[in-house]
A and B are shown apart, each in its own frame.
Chain A
Amino acid sequence: MSDAQVAEAKAVEPKGPAKASLFSRHENLTPLSIFIGFIIIIVLMQLYTQGLHKYPTFISPVNIFNIMQQVAVPGIVSVGMTFVMLSGGIDLSVGMLASLVSIIVANGISTWGLGVPVSIAMGIVSAVLLEGLMGFIISRTKVEPFIITLGGMITFQGLALLLCNSREVILNGELDFIKKNLIAGTKDPVTGLNLIIPPYVLGFFLVLMVGGLVLRFTKYGRRIYAVGTNRQAAYLAGISVKNTRLSVYLISGLLTGLGAIMLLSRINTGIVTLGQGLEIDTIAMVVIGGTALSGGKGSMLGTLIGIFFLGSIGNAMNMLRLPSEVQFVAKGLIVIIAVSAGDVSSRFGSFMARQREKAQVRKNAAT
């Protein structure tokens, strides 16, 4: 190598490793480390439950289908939350909005006698309108989304209580078609138990897939990332920042409405506690999936991992018969550990990348 070539190699090298290594491409490693943790937990659970005869083992079709049913509602809301958080916002109101929608729909069916389709439509439309109202304020003013949606959460709780006179509204299975088993009679070959796939689980997967495709393959998805990354630059690049920020709340409203109806059909009762804590679960799922609170970073694939990670841990803790108090502590710690582990691993990643660069430069200098 001539001197000039050496100089050139030195000049070019510090700009990052030329090969697309995992670490240079993925600065945010949260989903990856979560995924690894996920596999470890599954294996541990499997080993633990294998010896027990009373329960189905962890990795058995019946339990996997079970997990899907458990995560479908927070999952579908998480899809909306992913849109909101990628755009740089947050939505604390989804839990109470779900409660409100469930009470509107339950009332529509059993008290006001509007019939199932009209009641469902009414529930979803009100969810979209209410979120739209918050989105309008958020996108047109400088008030933090945190505050607006916190106010929304409290307001929706009050509205829900007013609409049900602080009592529960009981359904007689009018919404059972949403949870009807599509593969009735199919038995799990391992345990011999009945397998259940209701339509709402399929609906959840459909929404997740469409959400992922929209984010990755549409103009609209690009705009959300741009707005979440740098609002001023997005505005100067001709993106309507206001409308983009408004739209994510409309999506969140639509999906929260759908989630609320799924939840209502599972529980058969419209009650104000129905959506309690839903915002916590969904935000945790999205964050565990690697979406940054500051916006612009993350993906639907990450959210998918986050949904199933938290869902399976909840399921595992149920199987282990842990009391719900302990489950809360465990879930909270998992969020903290998972997200900081992601940060630590990405720091480790960039540290390794720097080391490799240094070694490369030294090697070039030596030759």
Chain B
Amino acid sequence: MGQILQLRNISKTFPGVKALQDISLDLNEGEVHCLCGENGAGKSTLIKILSGAYQPDEGGEIVFDDRRVTLTPRLALSLGIQTIYQEHIVFDTLSVMENLFAGAEIVAGGILNRREMRRQTVEALKYLKSGLDPDRKMRELTSGEQKTVEIAKGLLFKHRVIILDEPTASFSSAEIENLLEIVQAVKQSGIGIIYISHHLDEVFRVGDRVTVLRDGRKVSEHPMEGLSKSRLIKDMIGRDPSTFYQREKVEIGEPVFEARHLHGNGVQDISFVLRRGELLGISGMTGSGRSELLNLLFGSEPLLFGEIRVDGKAVRHGSPKSAIRNKLCFLTEDRQNTGLFLPQTVAQNVAVANLVNVKKFVVRPGEEVRRGDDYVRRLNIRTPDSRTRVVNLSGGNQQKVVLAKWFATDGEIYLFDEPTHGIDVGSKQEIYQVMVDLLRQGKAVIMVSSDLPEVISMSDRVLVMKGGRKVADLSGAEITEENILTYSIGDSAI
């Protein structure tokens, strides 16, 4: 087996962040090399470097077939490095065959040679043991079948390397099985595969070697043979807990919010009780249904089945409007698109969610500005006054405007989705302090976060989700990186 690709000492720095540090990695012909690591370990950055989307920092080098190369997206493709991303990029109104040959049609004198294209399509699909009809429209296929078509493309154009990024997200178990078989078949043809997955059982089924990343560094590399799952998980964790944010503990009071057997929006059978002064962390890998659960709790997605209780009373909120009346607040992850009215002023943004509770028809702009200025002072929002447009503020200050918007509603139950995503370290601490202040006032917080240290240091309890279900409810000393990761990526076999 010859070596196809080698990365030597690759680093990648973004302003303020070292996404990758000194990564070395190689890939052989006919090999499946798995990449593991929790959210934010640097897997996606590494893929983007391999596909030519990012250029590594000075000092690192990429060797392809014993030649040093500087990868651009175009060069990567012409060398035969194909990246299959999590989201499908397909022409969904075109057929399987047309998708396979999009941009590289076989032509004779400017006219499409459909017969030849069909022959090759059938051949590639047959090799993958797939019974797909080349004339089916892409949009009629399941996501598993669509992925098959993308992999067939690699075979068809004799690609050397196929990178699969979380290929089985949103797959049914039969589809996963099918894909793993396809990967085996592709491997037999001599193509090298880089396989990224949260699902350890897949990694063990299909992998020949595994490399573990943590915080942008390579932790270890193992051959799959003789490796245990617990060893792999140990490699993925291992931060020093004393470096985590030290949160002040608050006395926990009466239950204030209760979810009973919630179903809907991809979430299945979630139940929990939240008490005043308590911070419930929700952890799980991307796609495990964490944000979906928050939307369900806030009424922005329909609840199919189950019951929500606020202060012991069953409530039914069919929309965010009634959720706000029931004292819920929702700080969404994508604050620019779903949390803020960027061209409007700070004062107007602060006032908007509380309109639900305002009884009077007439509003006074002067009064809004006074209230806005008040929050600008209290939350230390860096702006001359609340008549500034939100679009002119920095990320951390925008997040504080979102906070002010919800404080103005006098809410009791705060739902935070990735509260510190894309925020600098200083502002992070301020936001943690704000959460603790809320708890001290007897309010309750539910926090979804991909940042494990954040979940561990802030949460009184952690609910771990996987595949839309609750797989663990940890509290106290059980809240460790190892436990959370074991539940969120491992399976019952551990």
Q: Which of B5-13, B225-233, B389-397, B472-480 contacts A (4 or more CB under 8 A)?
A: B389-397
Smallest CB gap from B406: residue in A: A237
CA distance A223 to B354 in the complex (A): 11
Interfacial residues of chain A within 203-259, with CB under 8 A of chain B in the complex: 216-223, 225-226, 229-230, 232-240
Per a CB cutoff under 8 Å, which of B344, B353, B356, B362 touches A229? B344
Interface secondary structure of A, over-half rule: helix
Q: Is the CB of B338 within 8 A of A233?
A: yes
Q: Is the CB of B341 within 8 A of A233?
A: yes
Smallest CB gap from A20: residue in B: B387
Whether A53 is near chain B, meaning CB under 8 Å from some CB there, is no
Per a CB cutoff under 8 Å, which of A16, A218, A223, A237 touches B362? A218
CA distance A222 to B356 in the complex (A): 11
Chain A interface size band reads 20 to 34
Whether B343 is near chain A, meaning CB under 8 Å from some CB there, is yes
Per a CB cutoff under 8 Å, which of A27, A219, A230, A236 touches B389? A27
CA distance A38 to B21 in the complex (A): 62
Whether A321 is near chain B, meaning CB under 8 Å from some CB there, is no
For residue A25, which residues in chain B have a CB less than 8 angstroms away from its CB?
Answer: 387
Whether B351 is near chain A, meaning CB under 8 Å from some CB there, is yes
Per a CB cutoff under 8 Å, which of B342, B355, B388 touches A238? B355
Whether A54 is near chain B, meaning CB under 8 Å from some CB there, is no
Interfacial residues of chain B within 368-385, with CB under 8 A of chain A in the complex: 382-384
Taking the closest CB of chain A, its distance from the CB of B315, in whole angstroms, is 14
Whether A121 is near chain B, meaning CB under 8 Å from some CB there, is no
Q: Is the CB of B382 within 8 A of A12?
A: yes
Q: Is the CB of B361 within 8 A of A219?
A: yes
For residue A239, which residues in chain B have a CB less than 8 angstroms away from its CB?
Answer: 321, 352, 355-356
Taking the closest CB of chain A, its distance from the CB of B370, in whole angstroms, is 15
Q: Is the CB of A219 within 8 A of B393?
A: no
Smallest CB gap from B383: residue in A: A15
Whether B420 is near chain A, meaning CB under 8 Å from some CB there, is no
CA distance A19 to B385 in the complex (A): 10
CA distance A240 to B384 in the complex (A): 32
Whether A331 is near chain B, meaning CB under 8 Å from some CB there, is no
CA distance A19 to B384 in the complex (A): 8
Whether A289 is near chain B, meaning CB under 8 Å from some CB there, is no
Whether B253 is near chain A, meaning CB under 8 Å from some CB there, is no
Contact with A along B337-349 (1 / 0, CB 8 A): 1111111100010
Count, chain B residues at interface, CB 8 A: 41
Contact with B along A116-142 (1 / 0, CB 8 A): 000000000000000000000000000
For residue B337, which residues in chain A have a CB less than 8 angstroms away from its CB?
Answer: 230, 232-233
Q: Is the CB of B392 within 8 A of A16?
A: yes
Q: Is the CB of A236 within 8 A of B320?
A: yes
Q: Is the CB of B361 within 8 A of A237?
A: no
For residue A240, which residues in chain B have a CB less than 8 angstroms away from its CB?
Answer: 319, 321
Whether B115 is near chain A, meaning CB under 8 Å from some CB there, is no
> Known: A230-B337, A235-B300, A296-B343. Is A222-B392 also a contact (CB below 8 A)?
no
> Known: A229-B344, A230-B341. Is A222-B352 also a contact (CB below 8 A)?
yes
Most buried by A among B338, B342, B348, B393: B338
Most buried by B among A18, A221, A223, A226: A226
Q: Is the CB of B364 within 8 A of A237?
A: no
For residue B338, which residues in chain A have a CB less than 8 angstroms away from its CB?
Answer: 230, 232-233, 236
Taking the closest CB of chain A, its distance from the CB of B406, in whole angstroms, is 9
Whether A10 is near chain B, meaning CB under 8 Å from some CB there, is no
Whether B196 is near chain A, meaning CB under 8 Å from some CB there, is no
Taking the closest CB of chain A, its distance from the CB of B346, in whole angstroms, is 12
Whether B330 is near chain A, meaning CB under 8 Å from some CB there, is yes
For residue B343, which residues in chain A have a CB less than 8 angstroms away from its CB?
Answer: 27, 229, 296-297
Q: Is the CB of B362 within 8 A of A217?
A: yes
Per a CB cutoff under 8 Å, which of B298, B361, B362, B387 touches A236? B298
Q: Is the CB of B358 within 8 A of A226?
A: no
Taking the closest CB of chain A, its distance from the CB of B177, in whole angstroms, is 37
Whether B290 is near chain A, meaning CB under 8 Å from some CB there, is no
CA distance A233 to B325 in the complex (A): 17
CA distance A12 to B319 in the complex (A): 40
CA distance A16 to B392 in the complex (A): 7
Per a CB cutoff under 8 Å, which of B323, B355, B388, B405 touches A222? B355
CA distance A16 to B397 in the complex (A): 14
Q: Is the CB of B405 within 8 A of A15?
A: no
Q: Is the CB of B363 within 8 A of A233?
A: no
> Known: A229-B344, A233-B340, A237-B320. Is A16-B388 also a contact (CB below 8 A)?
yes
Q: Is the CB of B339 within 8 A of A15?
A: no
For residue A219, which residues in chain B have a CB less than 8 angstroms away from its CB?
Answer: 355, 358, 360-363
For residue A16, which residues in chain B have a CB less than 8 angstroms away from its CB?
Answer: 383-384, 388, 392
Taking the closest CB of chain A, its distance from the CB of B351, in whole angstroms, is 7
Per a CB cutoff under 8 Å, which of A15, A18, A27, A238 touches B356? A238
Smallest CB gap from A237: residue in B: B353
Q: Is the CB of B342 within 8 A of A229?
A: yes
Whether B365 is near chain A, meaning CB under 8 Å from some CB there, is yes
Whether B459 is near chain A, meaning CB under 8 Å from some CB there, is no
Whether B324 is near chain A, meaning CB under 8 Å from some CB there, is yes
CA distance A220 to B389 in the complex (A): 21
Taking the closest CB of chain B, its distance from the CB of A321, in whole angstroms, is 44
Q: Is the CB of A229 within 8 A of B320?
A: no
Using a CB–CB distance below 8 Å, which chain A residues touch chain B?
Answer: 12, 15-16, 18-20, 25, 27, 216-223, 225-226, 229-230, 232-240, 296-297
Using a CB–CB distance below 8 Å, which chain B residues touch chain A?
Answer: 298, 300, 319-321, 323-325, 330, 332, 337-344, 348, 351-353, 355-356, 358, 360-365, 382-384, 387-389, 392-394, 405
List 20 other contacts, CB 8 Å, given A226-B352, A237-B352, A238-B323: A12-B382, A15-B383, A218-B363, A219-B355, A219-B360, A219-B361, A222-B352, A225-B348, A229-B343, A232-B337, A234-B341, A235-B319, A236-B338, A237-B320, A237-B356, A238-B356, A239-B321, A239-B352, A240-B321, A296-B341
Task: Give me 18 A-to-B residue pairs in the complex whose CB atoms sit less than 8 angstroms apart, sorted by A's number.
Answer: A15-B383, A15-B393, A16-B388, A16-B392, A19-B384, A218-B361, A219-B360, A222-B355, A222-B363, A225-B344, A230-B342, A233-B339, A235-B319, A235-B320, A236-B298, A236-B332, A238-B321, A239-B352
